[in-house]
Amino acid sequence: MRLADVQFSSRENAVVARLSGEIDLSNAQHISAALLEATPNTSLALVLDLTDVTYLDSAGIQMIYRLREGVRARAQTLRLVVPADSPTNDTLRLAGVAQHVQTIGTVDEALSELT
Amino acid sequence: METESLGREPQRREPRAGQTVLAPAAAELAPSGQVGSLHRLSDPALSELGLEDFLDELLVRVRDALAVDTVAILLLDEESQQLVARAAKGVEEEVEQEVRIPIGQGFAGRIAAERVAIFIADVDHADILNPILREKGIRSLLGVPLIVEGDLIGVLHVGSLKPRTFGERDLALLQVAAARAAPGIERARLFSALEHEHRVAMALQRSLLPKQLPDIVGVEAAARYLPASDEVGGDWYDVFELGRGRVGIAIGDVVGHGVGAAALMGQLRTALHAFASEGHGPGRTLELVDRYVNTMPQYAMATASYCVLEPETGVLRVASAGHMPPIIVANGSTRVVSIEPAPPLGAFPYASSQETETSLRSGEILVLYTDGLVERRRISLSDSIEALLAAVSGATSAERACQLAFENMVGLESLRDDVAIVALKNCEVPELLELRLLAEPRVLADIRRMLRRWLRARGAGDQETSDMTLAVSEACANAIEHAYSPAPAKFNLRASAQAREVTIVVSDAGDWRSPRGQDRGRGLAIIDTVMDEVQVSSSELGTEVSMRRTLGR
């Protein structure tokens, strides 16, 4: 098993990418490249589900910013699914960026917001 | 040209230039003194010389007995139906050039095809195929077929540099030599083939076993393999990193011996590793390997055990397909891991494999082995396993466990079966953690795992552990990103604790670059928030980030 893995599923107008494992300097760039690659132009949004991510650091935060810019350039939106009691939420809080990064608790909520 | 026929039963055969077909001579015609040295050619002990040495011995004796200048042996290559020069005296070029004569053609070819002795009085006027015979200046030739139990295996011929007539006594002598030598050649040939197969199987087995066990953070692995005395079996072992802090350890034993078993072992080892890498647990992994074995067209069966250890938590999952139960060495005592083994791989379609969960705590050693280690004549299996438990109980390292098992269990008696053993220790967490690491991003995950274990051992709570691990990983990422040197750069991590106060220092030989842009700033913000105190000192020697936090604050 790799340090992190990603599973894609297509929904109406959106791609849901479910990340699992650990995201750090060793894989953050590869993952953001893979995610942008897998999001077709026809999609309205990329829903990034970080529920199963067990570790994410500043390289992961940078990945989120990079993704946000990437989808924005294609007039798409990025929705981040980050449960309140997750390691990812801790990192966002400790880095002091929680107020700049909009997150949502579940994939269903993220998808219903899009319609 | 004239065709002569010597002997008592002249046979009518198609005449060929310069060749004289001879009827078999009576053996008693051979001079008894000369026959003596030839008799020993059928000595079974000679066949153990190996084919090359046996042929060499044979040629010298024949040359001396017949007082000839050249002797050569051509052996039948069944596939091509050609005679291939295998050994020679006086005409060594034949062998060097690997002269090939089609059956039925020329001098030797006709001897083989018609299974007759042929005499050539004058090479210049005869139908011979091999130019080397002429080039060497051979004048006269005499050749006989080599036959074993009715099968032609080759041709033996002698030559003279002076014109010579080979009489009935010469023919009888050569026939005796051929009759004595042929079974020996066949035995030696078989022996060589077997030995060759043994060497191939051995090389295959060795190449399919891990050359070196991987260096995995937090564990220590060791293994031994010893082939059986006479045959190579299909034992294998493996240790691999599964990612996300888990380690796989496997052992197996293919039913059968030789090249086939070694090749199947290679397939099973690869299949198991591949399924395991997909993240399947031990039970499921063995089920998938079993399914794979059941799809093989040939008969294939093996026993195997596969375990997955999470060193951080000590959780050990064990599964077995008809294999010997693993044992665990813990602080001078030992125990057998009780598992419900599934049937051997390939035994039944749709077999399912149970998984047992146990623990391998810090300092404990898991030992897997094949039955060759414990199956002994006149000793019951349970007594033998007891002996193994006693033997390894004093081991404090994986290497020592393998060593003790071999010393005590592999005796002087020749091994009937091959023996494999592999051991994995879940290493103790030192009080002072001092690491020197390659400045590469991939080491970060290992650092985090080690640090988590270390922090927990110091009494840190879950949130403290994850927050501090995050902060230290950020400091290390900074050292890695800014490391530059002609050689692979390294950096150091040192973690120590005094009472509840934890100090972690990350130092490198590079310049501290003030964090550029927002990204590094975020990392530093994390370190500042998590730690009670952070000091960055930079000198010509490098940069040091010292972080302090009191646990349970």
Q: What is the pLDDT of residues B175-185, one digit of tens each?
A: 988 988 888 88
Q: What is the pLDDT of residues B288-316, one digit of tens each?
A: 999 999 998 888 999 999 999 999 899 99
Q: Which residues of B touch A (CB under 8 A)?
A: 242-244, 246, 277-279, 441-442, 444-445, 448, 466-467, 469-470, 473-474, 477, 480-481, 519-520, 522-523, 525-526, 529-530
Ranges under pLDDT 50 in chain A: none
Among B444, B467, B472, B519, most A C-beta atoms within 10 A, so best to mutate, is B444
Q: What is the spatial distance between Cα B53 and Cα B46, in angstroms, rounded to a whole number?
A: 9
Closest to A90 (Cβ–Cβ): which among B466, B473, B480?
A: B466
Q: What is the spatial distance between Cα B534 and Cα B514, in angstroms, rounded to a whole number?
A: 15
Question: Do residue B442 and residue A62 have CB atoms under 8 angstroms apart?
Answer: no
Q: Which of B55, B78, B27 is nearest to B184 (CA)?
A: B55
Question: Do residue A90 and residue B473 have CB atoms under 8 angstroms apart?
Answer: no
ipTM surpassing 0.85: yes
Closest to A22 (Cβ–Cβ): which among B445, B467, B525?
A: B445
Question: Do residue B467 and residue A94 have CB atoms under 8 angstroms apart?
Answer: yes
Q: What is the pLDDT of residue B15?
A: 65
Confidence of residue B5 (pLDDT cuts 50, 70, 90): very low
Q: What is the pLDDT of residue B1?
A: 41
Q: What is the spatial distance between Cα B236 and Cα B254, in angstroms, rounded to a whole number?
A: 8
Q: What is the pLDDT of residue B206?
A: 81
Residue B436, SS3? strand
Q: What is the pLDDT of residues B244-258, one digit of tens each?
A: 889 999 999 998 888
pLDDT, mean of residues B403-414 = 81
CATH class of the domain defined by A5-112: alpha beta
Q: What is the pLDDT of residues B63-72, one digit of tens each?
A: 988 899 999 9
Question: Do residue A57 and residue B526 have CB atoms under 8 angstroms apart?
Answer: yes
Closest to A1 (Cβ–Cβ): which among B244, B526, B529?
A: B244
Q: In what order do the strands lie in the sheet with B140-148?
A: B5-6, B19-22, B117-120, B140-148, B151-160, B70-77, B82-89, B100-102
Q: How far is CA B544 from the centre of its chain?
A: 48
Question: Do residue B529 and residue A87 have CB atoms under 8 angstroms apart?
Answer: no
Confidence of residue B39 (pLDDT cuts 50, 70, 90): low
Question: Do residue B243 and residue A2 have CB atoms under 8 angstroms apart?
Answer: yes
Among B463, B470, B534, most A C-beta atoms within 10 A, so best to mutate, is B470
The pTM of the whole model exceeds 0.80: no
Q: Percent of chain B, pLDDT > 70? A: 89
Q: What is the pLDDT of residue B34?
A: 66
Q: What is the spatial distance between Cα B546 and Cα B471, in angstroms, rounded to a whole number?
A: 11
Question: Do residue A94 and residue B470 have CB atoms under 8 angstroms apart?
Answer: yes
Closest to A24 (Cβ–Cβ): which among B243, B473, B520?
A: B473
Which letter does DSSP use for residue B11 in this model? -
Confidence of residue B78 (pLDDT cuts 50, 70, 90): confident
Question: Do residue A24 and residue B444 have CB atoms under 8 angstroms apart?
Answer: yes
